Amino acid sequence: MTSLPRILTIMGSGETAPTMVKVHRELVARLSKPAAVLLDTPYGFQENAPELASRAVEYFKTSVNTSITPAGLGRIDGADPVALQHGLNLLSDATYVFAGPGSPTYALRQWKGTTIPDMLHAKIRGGGVVTFASAAALTLGTRTVPVYEIYKCGEEPYWLEGLNLLGDLGIPAVVIPHYNNAEGGHHDTRFCYLGERRLIALESELGDDEYVIGIDEHTGLIIDFDAESARVVGNGVVTLRVDGASRTFSSGETLSLSLLRDPRDGESTTSPPPPPSAAEQAVDAVGGNVPASLRAAAEHRKSEFDTALASHDSVAATRAVLDLEADIRQWSADTLTGTDGDYARDTFRGMILKLGEAATSGLADPRATVAPYVEAILEIRKVVRAEKRYDLSDIIRDALAGARVEVRDTPAGVEWVLQLP
């Protein structure tokens, strides 16, 4: 029997976005017979929990090319015993466990007193791939930030006890996803909406050996217990913040577990990206650099569209519209698009309107269309002028002017300008 890899992957956000497709595919490719389960507890309190589960299932089916089964553990308190046991069995048998958005506080409260924490610890120690993102990622360390209570309810910063799956790897850290969040605009929402002031306050309560692992949005850290290494993936950086001092590691860089276990040793053990592994080579290409957000994708498509219209290239303009529609569909599973979806749809509608206007007025350059005829007439005018038949020359000029073609006799020669309506 082939032993399972022991991998813990932390994602800062974008867990069901195009940015993380390649990462999920790589992780699934490490498993000979993947049995993927969606641990749906973190968002189980939300009214749209079934929709979130359906979107995740569709994302894995269409983008990751594998099936994933919701555990049905959204609310454990008061759950039907048969349904609860069914979900626990799914989780126990899973070789790939995925959890994402929601509330870390709610998830920890639901998991307390159940076998779920033990099952997760067993996969880290004994074999399996565990991928936690966003809210679920907050639970991985020695402590957990109660984000909703602090950011939404205004409670003073405090820690909750975490699952400490990182402790199984000997890493004494807390995890903060959404590390580079900028949704606040003029107010600081970095560090998972804490901001610098509140993060400093929380840091002062950490033990001497504890530190912060910050994961940027649309970024991940793949920790391979067997290889004793960790690799940064995605669009941003991973930050090791020790006593307020930060070291960052870019996508593609590899860190040794010894550094994560003791980042205070002061010695960098990063390395350039290694050659692709067999699992990475097995991953289908997802195409170039993936935009960091749906808004960025929409802006890129609009730029392509505007360039195409300016070049009178109807095929390229149509392609940009179709590509934006595909982008909107691909990002539809992402739970944190915010206003990006509205922006993308507005951009899409605007592009369609411009295509409609172009269909009425035409995309072809009208000067290029009439040029052969105008040039031929001007050649005739050149002949009659050479014969000093200026009366005929003026008739030709006036006739062209009536057709909105202005003829200009200059020292350098004859020029003409098409006057558009």
In a domain, 129, yes or no: yes
Residue 273: its pLDDT value, please?
A: 44
Average pLDDT over all residues of the chain: 89
pLDDT reading at 282 higher than 50: no
In a domain, 287, yes or no: no
Confidence of residue 383 (pLDDT cuts 50, 70, 90): confident
User: Mean pLDDT highest for which of 230-239, 302-311, 330-339?
Assistant: 230-239
Confidence of residue 281 (pLDDT cuts 50, 70, 90): very low
pTM (predicted TM-score):
0.74
Share of the chain above pLDDT 90, in %: 60
Give every CB contact of residue 133 below 8 A, 6+ residues apart in sequence. 10, 11, 12, 13, 14, 15, 20, 98, 99, 100, 101, 177, 220
Give every CB contact of residue 155 below 8 A, 6+ residues apart in sequence. 146, 149
Give every CB contact of residue 208 below 8 A, 6+ residues apart in sequence. none
Rounded to an integer, what distance in angstroms lies between the CA atom of residue 31 and that of residue 14?
22
Shared-domain flag, residues 181 and 304: no
Residue 280: its pLDDT value, please?
A: 45
Residue 361: its pLDDT value, please?
A: 66
Shared-domain flag, residues 66 and 151: yes
Residue, of 184 and 136, whose pLDDT is higher: 136
Mean pLDDT of 145-163: 94
Mean pLDDT of 199-222: 97
Shared-domain flag, residues 80 and 107: yes
Helix (H) or strand (E) holding 415: strand 413-418
Confidence of residue 275 (pLDDT cuts 50, 70, 90): very low
pLDDT digits (tens, 9 = 90+) for 96-111: 999 999 999 999 999 9
Structure tokens at 40: 């749906």
Structure tokens at 45: 């309190």
Instruction: Supply the angle between the helices 366-386 and 390-402 in degrees, to the nearest 10.
Output: 170
Shared-domain flag, residues 210 and 299: no
pLDDT digits (tens, 9 = 90+) for 165-207: 999 999 999 999 999 998 888 889 999 999 999 999 999 999 9
Range of weakest confidence among 74-83, 262-271, 361-370: 262-271
Shared-domain flag, residues 231 and 380: no
Rounded to an integer, what distance in angstroms lies between the CA atom of residue 323 and that of residue 348?
10
Structure tokens at 258: 């010894």
Residue 255: its pLDDT value, please?
A: 96
Rounded to an integer, what distance in angstroms lies between the CA atom of residue 17 and that of residue 327?
10
Confidence of residue 156 (pLDDT cuts 50, 70, 90): very high
Range of weakest confidence among 91-105, 231-245, 319-333, 362-376: 362-376
Domain CATH number, residue 64: 3.40.50.880
Mean pLDDT of 306-318: 86
End-to-end CA separation in angstroms for the chain = 77
Sign of the dihedral defined by the CA atoms of residues 280, 285, 289, 292, in that order: negative
> Where does a domain end: 339, 361, 383?
361
For residue 372, give its domain range: 366-418
Shared-domain flag, residues 100 and 158: yes
Share of the chain above pLDDT 70, in %: 91
Structure tokens at 135: 């809210």
* Alpha helices, H only, 94-194: 104-111, 116-126, 134-137, 147, 190-193
Helix (H) or strand (E) holding 242: strand 237-242
Instruction: Supply the angle between the helices 340-361 and 314-330 in degrees, to the nearest 10.
Output: 160
Mean pLDDT of 17-38: 96
Domain count, the chain: 3
Rounded to an integer, what distance in angstroms lies between the CA atom of residue 31 and that of residue 184?
40
Shared-domain flag, residues 353 and 374: no
pLDDT reading at 41 higher than 90: yes
Shared-domain flag, residues 270 and 339: no
Shared-domain flag, residues 242 and 303: no
